[in-house]
Amino acid sequence: MFFFSFAFPPSLSHFLTFLVVFLCILQIDLASSSTTTRIGNGYKLISIEESPNGGLVGHLQVKQKNNIYGPDIPLLQLYVKHETDNRLRVHITDAEKQRWEVPYNLLPRETPPSSKKTIGRARKDQNTLTSEYAGNELIFTYKSDPFSFSIKRKSNGETLFDTTSDESNPYNNLVFKDQYLEISTKLPKNASLYGLGENTQPHGIKLHPNDPYTLYTTDISAINLNADLYGSHPVYMDLRNNEGKASAHAVLLLNSNGMDVFYRGNSLTYKVIGGIFDLYFFSGPSPLDVVDQYTAFIGRPAAMPYWAFGFHQCRWGYHNLSVVEDVVENYKKAKIPLDVIWNDDDHMDGHKDFTLNPANYPRPKLLAFLEKIHAQGMKYIVIIDPGIGVNKSYGVYQRGLANDVFIKYEGKPFLAQVWPGAVNFPDYLNPKTVEWWGDEIRRFHELVPVDGLWIDMNEVSNFCNGLCTIPEDRICPNGTGPGWICCLDCKNATLTKWDDPPYKINASGIQAPIGYKTIATSAYHYNGVLEYDAHSLYGFSQAIATHKALQGLEGKRPFILTRSTYVGSGHYAAHWTGDNKGTWDDLKYSISTMLNFGLFGVPMVGSDICGFYPAPTEELCNRWIELGAFYPFSRDHANFYSPRQELYQWKSVAESARNALGMRYKLLPYLYTLNYEAHISGAPIARPLFFTFTNETKLYGLSTQFLLGSSLMVSPVLDKDKTKVNALFPPGSWYDMFDMTKVIVSKESHYFELDAPLHVINVHLYQNAIIPMQQGGLISKEARTTPFTLIVTFPLGAKEGEAKGNLFLDNDELPEMKLGNGYSTYVDLYATVSKGTVKVWSDVQESKFALEKGWIVGKVVVLGLEGIGSDLEVNVDGEAANLDAVEVSAANHEYPQKLEDGADKMKNVMVEVKGLELPVGKKFTMSWKMGIKA
d(CA 483, CA 169): 50
Q: Are 807 and 820 in contact (CB under 8 A)?
A: no
What pLDDT sits at residue 482? 74
DSSP string, 873-894: EEEETTEEPP-TT-EEEEEE-B
DSSP string, 679-694: HHH---SEE-GGGTST
Residue 325 among the catalytic residues: no
The residues facing 412 across adjacent strands are: 409
User: In sequence order, which ranges of 222-320 are alpha helices (DSSP H)?
Assistant: 287-298
Q: Are 849 and 784 in contact (CB under 8 A)?
A: no
Sheet holding 43-50, edge to edge: 43-50, 56-62, 75-84, 87-94, 277-282, 245-253, 233-242, 192-197
The one catalytic residue among 162, 353, 451, 579: 579
Burial readout 325-354 (b: 16 or more C-beta within 10 A, e: otherwise): bebbebbeebebbbbbbbbbbbbbbebbbb
Crossing angle of the two packed helices 651-666 and 618-628, in degrees rounded to 10:
0
Sheet holding 634-636, edge to edge: 605-606, 574-576, 560-562, 452-455, 379-384, 340-343, 311-313, 634-636, 608-609
Q: Are 249 and 154 in contact (CB under 8 A)?
A: no
d(CA 858, CA 384): 44
Which of helix, strand or coil describes residue 259?
A: strand
What pLDDT sits at residue 20? 38
- The burial class, CB within 10 Å (0-12 / 13-18 / 19+), for 82 is buried
d(CA 187, CA 207): 13
Residue 292 among the catalytic residues: no
Q: Are 827 and 770 in contact (CB under 8 A)?
A: no
What pLDDT sits at residue 26? 41
* pTM beyond 0.85: yes
Half-sphere exposure of residue 542: CA atoms within 13 angstroms, side-chain side: 29
Residues 6+ apart with CB under 8 A from 372: none
d(CA 563, CA 812): 24
* Region label for 312, one of left (φ > 0), alpha (ψ between -120 and 50) or beta (otherwise): beta
Which of helix, strand or coil describes residue 853?
A: helix
What pLDDT sits at residue 869? 79
Which of helix, strand or coil describes residue 659?
A: helix
CA-wise closest residue to 631 among 658, 601, 669, 660: 660
Residues 6+ apart with CB under 8 A from 326: none
3-state helix, strand and coil shares in percent for the chain, rounded to the nearest 5: 25, 30, 45
d(CA 263, CA 915): 58
Half-sphere exposure of residue 504: CA atoms within 13 angstroms, side-chain side: 14
The one catalytic residue among 238, 289, 451, 456: 456
Residues 6+ apart with CB under 8 A from 116: 96
User: In sequence order, which ranges of 785-934 are alpha helices (DSSP H)?
Assistant: 848-853
901-905 long-range contacts (CB < 8 A, ≥24 apart) are 901/747, 903/745, 903/796, 903/797
Tell me how far CA of residue 242 lies from CA of 155, 190, 245, 246, 901, in angstroms. 14, 8, 5, 6, 29
What pLDDT sits at residue 14? 38
Which of helix, strand or coil describes residue 619?
A: helix
DSSP string, 181-247: EEEEEE--TT-EEEEEES-B-TT-SB--TT-EEEE------TTSBTS--S-BEEEEEEEEEETTEEE
Helix (H), strand (E) at residue 589? helix 584-599
Residue 96 among the catalytic residues: no
Which of helix, strand or coil describes residue 291?
A: helix
Q: CA angle at residue 603 from 601 to 607, to 5 degrees?
A: 125
CA-wise closest residue to 451 among 303, 554, 348, 301: 554
- The burial class, CB within 10 Å (0-12 / 13-18 / 19+), for 35 is exposed
What pLDDT sits at residue 896? 83
d(CA 863, CA 925): 18
Radius of gyration of the chain (CA): 28
The one catalytic residue among 459, 533, 608, 636: 459
User: One-letter amino acid identity for 624?
Assistant: W
Helix (H), strand (E) at residue 471? none
d(CA 420, CA 187): 49
What pLDDT sits at residue 18? 37
d(CA 155, CA 532): 42
d(CA 822, CA 851): 11
CA-wise closest residue to 680 among 817, 583, 825, 841: 817
DSSP string, 83-109: EETTEEEEEEEESSS------TTTS--
What pLDDT sits at residue 478? 80
d(CA 739, CA 369): 39
pLDDT along the chain (934 residues), means of 10: 40 37 39 60 96 94 96 98 98 98 98 74 49 96 96 97 86 96 96 97 97 97 96 98 96 98 96 98 98 98 98 97 98 98 97 98 98 98 98 97 98 97 98 98 98 98 97 86 88 90 96 96 98 98 98 94 98 98 98 98 98 96 98 97 96 98 98 98 98 98 98 98 98 98 95 97 98 98 98 96 98 96 97 96 98 98 92 94 94 82 70 97 96 55
d(CA 432, CA 572): 20
